Amino acid sequence: MENLTFENILLACCGIITHVLMMILDRRNKTIPLSAGYFFCDVNNYIRATLSFISVFALLIMSKDVMDTLGIILKNGTGATKLFSFFAGYFNHSIIRYLVKIFKK
The C-alpha atoms of residue 105 and residue 100 are separated, in whole angstroms, by 9
Q: What is the DSSP string of 13-49?
A: HHHHHHHHHHHHHT-S-TTSPP-HHHHHT-HHHHHHH
Given this model, what pLDDT does residue 37 score?
Answer: 64
This prediction has a pTM of: 0.70
Would 20 be classed as within a structural domain?
Answer: yes
C-alpha distances in angstroms, 76 versus 3, 63, 79? 19, 18, 9
Decide if 66 contacts 59 (C-beta within 8 A).
yes
Would 1 be classed as within a structural domain?
Answer: no
Q: What are the pLDDT tens digits along the chain (105 aa)?
A: 677 788 888 888 888 888 887 877 776 666 766 666 666 666 777 787 888 888 888 888 888 888 877 777 777 766 678 888 888 888 887 887 788 888 876
How many domains does the structure of the chain reveal?
1
Domain that holds residue 47: 6-104
